[in-house]
Amino acid sequence: MSKILVIHGPNLNLLGQREKDVYGTTTLEEINALLLTQAKSAGIELEILQSNHEGDIVDAIGKSKAKNIQAILMNPAAYTHTSVAIRDAVAAMDIPTVEVHLSNIYAREEFRHTSLIAPVAHGQVSGFGVESYLLGLQAVIKLINK
């Protein structure tokens, strides 16, 4: 069975409570349930991590090949714009990676317009709320089933 690592970055554990006008009212647990349902119907196993700590995310990416992870679906959240370490970990693993964001980062504050992850990811889905995650999962499934 193929295995995909799902990474939720900092503050995503607060979904449903924080800035509802930007991120909506869906909780992280609800997003994970939707992802697990979609993955199960595709015969895919998910490993899900949420961390507010950059090093935890870097470690998870670095261990992905040893854990037989075939793809990564990641919302790096604020680390999108700041983490060279996460960017380098993605590049080093050479595993198909899709970056997702609930909001359209290019329609927000200017500092959010730059993604350090996008140049090393296979693609990016942003601005569709929870659907960004589901579209991103579809994309990584297609990448590993090529």
Any idea which residues carry the catalytic annotation? Answer: 23, 101
CA 52 → CA 8, 10, 15, 127, 146, distances in Å?
9, 4, 13, 22, 33
% pLDDT > 70, the chain = 93
Q: What confidence score (pLDDT) does residue 24 get?
A: 66
User: What pTM does this model have?
Assistant: 0.93
> Is it the case that residue 52 has pLDDT exceeding 90?
yes
pLDDT at position 125 is 97
Q: What one-character-per-residue DSSP string does 121-132 give?
A: SSEEEESSTHHH
Nearest residue to 6 (alpha-carbon basis) of 105, 98, 112: 98
Name the class of domain 2-144: alpha beta
Find how far residue 77's CA is from the centre of its chain.
8
* Residue-wise pLDDT tens digits, 92-103: 999 999 999 998
Mean pLDDT, the chain, as a whole number?
A: 92
For residue 19, the tally of other CB atoms under 10 A from its CB is 11
pLDDT digits (tens, 9 = 90+) for 8-32: 999 899 888 866 676 667 899 999 9
Q: How far apart are CA 95 and CA 121, in angstroms?
A: 9
Q: How far apart are CA 108 and CA 105, in angstroms?
A: 5
Q: Is the dihedral of CA 12, 7, 126, 91 positive or negative?
A: positive
Integer-rounded Cα Rg, in Å, for the chain is 14
- d(CA 27, CA 80) in angstroms, rounded, equals 20
